[in-house]
Structure 1
């Protein structure tokens, strides 16, 4: 069975409006081909179907979640994407810190994926 593409792992769907915040350089190449009629935004303005936020600190996470609460459709997918412990990206955040914070602030973690060699992502749901 072929490995899933990054857009498949992140659950991109046709016609989605997707917000990518703080995406690393060349990330669009990692995403590869998008489903039909997907719109990519790089700033939160309007409601989105899916948001993927790249974070390297708790401070970035707190600011992003505060900003995103009003940008997500009720059924939206929210991915917090953080550097793997084995990556060379400098970070003071990890899965456990994220889970502890989000679960104390109105979100629930529902999935964990490996985006690629440098990044992992936790999918959150507002509760």
Structure 2
């Protein structure tokens, strides 16, 4: 069975060890069908190839982000999902504001996508050896 459009958009690939933290109800169903041999953990226990966190505020991001960094592999892709301005979720994160803790981590900003009608997500990953460092987003 082919992977879902959402899994493809979010670069969730076959064989990945994935981690999803603070997922809203029914979100995992939105990712289905998953690529083959993807293992999804919902706790921070082992390093992961692909991580997605859901945060509703800068404070929540500031607490959770340093914790997930401990579970990075050299090529980990981290998606930081945050409420869209049009959602009914109160937030102080926007596309342009609230990302200081991420900017300080020297990660490469890869993409910004619409996850669904409620959530957007930024993707970041470690720089590859020799890759030029870019300025904040």
Please report the TM-score for the alignment, with normalisation by the length of structure 2. Answer: 0.84
Aligned: 1:78 with 2:78: yes
Deviation at 1:98, TM superposition (A): 4.0
TM-score using structure 1 length = 0.90
Q: Is 1:61 matched with 2:67?
A: no
1:99-118 equivalence runs, <5 A: 99-118=99-118
Which range is displaced more, 46-55 or 104-113? Answer: 104-113
Contact 1:99–1:109, Cα closer than 8 Å, also in 2: no
* Higher alpha-carbon Rg: 2
* Structure 1 partner of 2:131: none
Task: Report the CA distance between 1:5 and its aligned residue.
Answer: 0.9
Q: CA deviation at 1:76?
A: 0.5
Superposition misfits of 4+ residues, deviation over 4 angstroms: none
Quote the offset at 1:99 in angstroms. 3.9
Unmatched runs of 5 consecutive residues or more in structure 1: none
Task: Tell me the secondary structure at the aligned position of residue 62 of structure 1.
Answer: helix
Number of matched residues?
Answer: 124
Q: Does 1:26 align with 2:26?
A: yes
User: What's 2:93 paired with?
Assistant: 93
